[in-house]
Amino acid sequence: MTILEFVNINLKTDFKDDNELPFKLTKKTFKKGDVLTSYGQIERSAYFLISGLIEITVLKDIDEKIIEFFLPGCFFFSYTSFLSQQPSDVQVSALSDCDVEVIDYVELQKAYKTSLVANQIGRLATESIFIISTKREKDFLTKSAQERYDELLSKRPDLIRLVPVNKIAKYLGIHPESLSRLRKNLFS
């Protein structure tokens, strides 16, 4: 999916090409392992993932924690840094080769001033990232590791298929050995 398709589906518009969108887009590709936004960098881009797999991490001392994975069809970026234009406390990296579309910060802010469609897209994108992020927070507070793994398996099976096991464990906040046990419980 592209931003054009995302907009047409979500806003029920019928835009024929990118020139009808209220902001300029550029296309970029990243290689597996590339860092799109590093710790301390100010986020200038809102990315939309066309293909590939993205990881967002945060640092505790030298220990890296995984906050979120993104699969194609959604916006992703160092959100707080983008909004505040302060240095990012998260890192955005490509877990596989990725095709993305990019909206520049200044370009987007300009569009927000006058464009209904730009604000509708911005609102929808923020709403959907927010729902994912608060769900994760509530799950950490209320569910066991087993429950969180089971739910990931049923609700986001693509993640389990595409993301290396050690990263799934990090995302769930458990040791890789514990994850192996959870997987055994499930299939025994």
Q: Which residues bind a copy of itself (CB under 8 A)?
A: 58-60, 65, 67, 79-80, 83-84, 89-90, 112, 114-116, 119-120, 122-123, 126-127, 129-131, 133-138, 140-143, 173
| Nearest of 26, 132, 32, 118 to residue 79 by alpha carbon | 132
Q: How far is the CB of 122 from a copy of itself (least distance, A)?
A: 5
| Nearest of 172, 163, 169, 166 to residue 144 by alpha carbon | 172
Tokens of 35: 């860092």
Query: Closest CB to a copy of itself among 38 and 133?
Result: 133
Q: How far is the CB of 16 from a copy of itself (least distance, A)?
A: 21
First and final CA of the chain: distance in angstroms?
38
Query: Closest CB to a copy of itself among 69 and 79?
Result: 79
Nearest-10 Cα torsion for 41, 46, 48, 52: 0
Q: How far is the CB of 162 from a copy of itself (least distance, A)?
A: 23
Query: Closest CB to a copy of itself among 19 and 142?
Result: 142
| Nearest of 151, 145, 154, 152 to residue 177 by alpha carbon | 145
Query: Closest CB to a copy of itself among 140 and 164?
Result: 140
Q: How far is the CB of 56 from a copy of itself (least distance, A)?
A: 10
At 23 the three-state DSSP class reads coil
